[in-house]
Amino acid sequence: MSRRNKLQKFSELLAFPNVYENFDPKNPGLIGLDGVDVDLTGKWGKEHFKNEAPITLELACGRGEYSLGLSRMYPERNFIGVDIKGARIWKGAKIALEENLSNTAFLRTRIEQIALFFAPNEINEIWITFPDPFLGKTKINRRLTSPRFIDSYRKFLVPGGICHLKTDDPTLYEYSLETLSAIPFVEILYQDDDIYSKALPLPELDLKTYYEYQHLRDQKTIKYLKFAIQ
C-alpha cells in the first residue's frame, strides 16, 4: 500500500463515528469523531453503543473480520476490534458503517495500553485471533497470552470472563497451554490442536480471518483455546 493511500485512510478514520484512536502511548487519551478528545473508560455502553449489552473485544483484530462476523451473528451484543494498524482498522470500520452495524466499534491503540481504556468489569469476553506469535526468545513477553497480558485483561474483565485464542502457530499454542495452566486464577475450559478435524464446539469458530484463509491454503492446522479469568 502506498504511503499516500495510508495517509488518506488515516485521515478518513477521523470522520468515522465508530473509531477511537490513541496517538500517544504515554497519554491515555482517545481521539474520536473529527479529532475530538473523548473519555470512554467505564462508559462504552452508555456513551458509544447507547445500551448496556455485554461487550466483547477482538484483540489484534486486523481488518476486523471477527468483530464484524460476531456483530452480525449476535446483534444483541457489542463488539470492539482493537489493533494498532490504522489502515487495517479502516477496512473493518468502513464495512461496519456500510452495513449499519451499530454494535461494532474499533479502538486503535497498542494492546499494552488497553487497560487504560476500560473500567473494571466493563468487558465480558475477549477473542485473540491469529496474533503475532513472537517466536524470538526475547519477545515472549509480547505474546498476548503471556502473564503480563493476562494480568492486564483481568483489570477490566468481569469475574470469570471468557477468553478465546485462535492460532495456526504450534509454538504459541503450546506456550499458551503451559502458561495459562500455571496461573491460579485462570481455568482452561477447552483445548483443541485441530479444530476443523471434527465438529466445531461453537459456531463462532466457523468465522475466518484473512490470515486464517491463508493458513488453510498452506494446509496449516488451526488451534483453539478457551479459558476463563477469575
Q: Give the residue numbers marked as catalytic.
A: 132
Distance CA 21, CA 109 (A): 6
Residues in the chain: 230
Task: Measure the CA–CA gap between 17 and 19, rounded to whole angstroms.
Answer: 6
Q: Which residues have C-beta within 8 Å of that of residue 51, sequence separation ≥ 6?
A: 45, 78
Using DSSP's 3-state secondary structure scheme, residue 39 falls into coil
Q: DSSP states of 65-133 as a string?
A: HHHHHHHHH-TTSEEEEEES-HHHHHHHHHHHHHTT-TTEEEEES-GGGGGGGS-TT-EEEEEEES---
Alpha-carbon span 188 to 181, nearest angstrom: 7
DSSP letter for 32, please: -
